[in-house]
């Protein structure tokens, strides 16, 4: 019989209309096979079509409340950042693995620092090629959703200009401006082109622009991003999608209040970057229950958990890439896992009252301690199962 080495907790998400879940039954089975205990809050997976019995069959122990899960667990695996009602359930001996986006949330950062928790953020874990592998699947989903959300907001009944994204014969299609040609922007472009829109992308990476131009054979206009370029393009756009990212740091405000004032009445902006503060000066976080608001006649869609609108797709896409890291943390203990994997170590945002990601510390003006220094600290050896591939 395998001995339990790590107690893993999966609470039900409590952010407004957030139905994703941190671990699926397939992940439970892998973790329990490695000798760990997985505690899942009752109904945590109902929003993605997974029942408590599905979890029990996979080997999880289903608990009635979030408090029981937090009290029992050592490693907590979530989707969204802890909400205020969860702060009091967090302890200094917890390891938290989830999305955090601390640069845009100083209140949460301060709370985690005061608790003294060890918090590892999905969005700052890196890969050999410099990409952010735990952010990529949700950027893909958000990029595709941004066009759907924008097309819906353009409907007259929703406050938009009353423009059909693809137009019809004899009537030109909507003009879509995508700010940022990375993962989210590329998927937004793909969707917008597929729906027949007139698409322009601005980016500061010439290689990215060349890649997009080659992929679409000139069907997408590619423009090097400058203030002058945005000034000239913004007034013509029916839909502007903000897809800018600076890893760990707050997003630069590339679209100003003046830009928004000069946009067409009933135009729409969708800010995919809102989790990191947003790239429009007029952006403020919204929820799926009240996704839009209007500034100077322009409809703003700034939902902070866009992929939560399609929780089943999003959960399967995300857990495919998070599970190997969860296994490392459980099998090795967080300190050794980070010591062995420098890319996972980049995910360490908070430990023992300090911020451990330089960009976040600079943004918030907090005390900074390098993750490498934390991992180098001596620790008591822990018994663990061998890693199972």
pTM listed for this prediction: 0.88
Whole-number pLDDT of residue 248: 67
Whole-number pLDDT of residue 4: 55
CATH of 136-309, picked from 3.40.50.2300, 3.10.180.10, 3.40.50.720, 3.40.309.10, is 3.40.50.720
| Structure letter (DSSP) for residue 91 | -
Mean pLDDT of all residues in 218-238:
96
Domains 7-116+311-375 and 136-309 share a fold: yes
Active site residue 101: yes
Whole-number pLDDT of residue 367: 85
Pairing of strands 268-271, 298-301: parallel
Instruction: Please determine, for residue 383, whether its predicted confidence score (pLDDT) is greater than 70.
Output: no
Confidence label for 380 from pLDDT (cuts 50, 70 and 90): very low
Mean pLDDT of all residues in 32-61:
97
Whole-number pLDDT of residue 274: 93
Mean pLDDT of all residues in 36-44:
98
Whole-number pLDDT of residue 234: 96
Confidence label for 377 from pLDDT (cuts 50, 70 and 90): low
Q: So where are the chain's domains?
A: 7-116+311-375, 136-309
Instruction: Please determine, for residue 387, whether its predicted confidence score (pLDDT) is greater than 80.
Output: no
- 301 forms beta bridges with 270, 292
More confident residue, 129 or 69: 69
Instruction: Please determine, for residue 382, whether its predicted confidence score (pLDDT) is greater than 50.
Output: no
Catalytic residue among 54, 105, 203, 275: 275
Whole-number pLDDT of residue 365: 87
Instruction: Please determine, for residue 247, whether its predicted confidence score (pLDDT) is greater than 80.
Output: no
Active site residue 300: no
Instruction: Please determine, for residue 102, whether its predicted confidence score (pLDDT) is greater than 90.
Output: yes
Whole-number pLDDT of residue 379: 44
Instruction: Please determine, for residue 37, whether its predicted confidence score (pLDDT) is greater than 90.
Output: yes
* CATH code of the domain occupying 7-116+311-375: 3.40.50.720
Instruction: Please determine, for residue 162, whether its predicted confidence score (pLDDT) is greater than 70.
Output: yes
Tell me the pLDDT tens digit for each residue of 276-319.
Answer: 889 999 999 999 999 999 999 999 999 999 999 999 999 999 99
Task: Please give the C-alpha separations between residue 276 and each of 106, 226, 267, 283, 356, in angstroms, as whole numbers.
Answer: 11, 21, 23, 11, 17
Confidence label for 249 from pLDDT (cuts 50, 70 and 90): confident
Listing DSSP states for 301-364 in one string gives: E-BTTGGGGSHHHHHHHHHHHHHHHHHHHHHH-HHHHHHH-HHHHTTEEEETTEE--HHHHHHH
Contact 105, 251 (CB under 8 A): no
Whole-number pLDDT of residue 301: 98
Share of the chain above pLDDT 90, in %: 87
Pairing of strands 354-355, 118-121: unpaired
Instruction: Please determine, for residue 232, whether its predicted confidence score (pLDDT) is greater than 90.
Output: yes
- Which tokens in the block code for residue 287? 């929820």
Whole-number pLDDT of residue 245: 80
Catalytic residue among 19, 101, 259, 351: 101
């Amino acid at each position: 019989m395998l001995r339990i080495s790590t107690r893993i907790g999966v609470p039900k998400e409590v952010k407004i209309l957030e139905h994703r879940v941190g671990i699926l039954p397939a992940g439970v089975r892998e973790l329990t096979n490695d000798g760990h205990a997985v505690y899942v809050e009752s109904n945590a997976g109902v929003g993605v079509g997974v029942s408590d019995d599905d979890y029990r069959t996979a080997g999880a122990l289903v608990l009635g409340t979030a408090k029981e899960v937090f009290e029992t667990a050592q490693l907590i695996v979530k989707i969204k950042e802890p909400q205020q009602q969860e702060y009091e359930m967090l302890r200094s001996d917890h390891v938290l693995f989830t999305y955090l986006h601390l640069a845009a949330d100083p209140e949460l950062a301060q709370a985690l620092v005061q608790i003294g928790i060890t918090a590892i953020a999905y969005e700052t874990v890196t890969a050999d090629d410099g990409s952010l592998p735990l952010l990529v699947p949700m950027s893909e989903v958000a990029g595709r959703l941004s066009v759907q959300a924008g097309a819906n907001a353009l409907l007259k009944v929703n406050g938009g200009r009353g423009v059909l994204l693809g137009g019809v014969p004899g009537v030109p299609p909507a003009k879509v401006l995508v700010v940022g040609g990375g993962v989210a922007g590329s998927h937004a472009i793909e969707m917008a082109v597929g729906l027949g829109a007139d698409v322009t992308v601005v980016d500061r990476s010439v290689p990215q622009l060349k890649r997009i131009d080659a992929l679409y054979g000139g069907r997408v206009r590619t423009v090097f991003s400058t203030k002058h370029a945005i000034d000239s393009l913004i007034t013509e756009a029916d839909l502007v999608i903000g897809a800018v990212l600076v890893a760990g740091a707050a997003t630069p405000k590339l679209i100003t209040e003046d830009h928004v004032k000069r946009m067409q009445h009933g135009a729409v902006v969708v800010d995919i970057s809102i989790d990191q503060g947003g790239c429009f000066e007029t952006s403020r976080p919204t929820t799926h229950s009240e996704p839009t608001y209007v500034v100077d006649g322009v409809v703003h869609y700034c939902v902070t958990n866009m992929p939560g609108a399609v929780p089943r797709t999003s959960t399967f896409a995300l857990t495919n890439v998070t599970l190997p890291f969860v296994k490392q943390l459980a099998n090795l203990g967080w300190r050794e896992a980070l010591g062995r994997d420098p890319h996972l170590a980049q995910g360490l945002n908070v430990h023992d009252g300090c911020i451990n990601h330089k960009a976040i510390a600079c943004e918030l003006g907090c005390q900074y301690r390098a993750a490498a220094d934390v991992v180098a600290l001596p620790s008591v050896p822990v018994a663990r199962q061998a890693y199972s591939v």
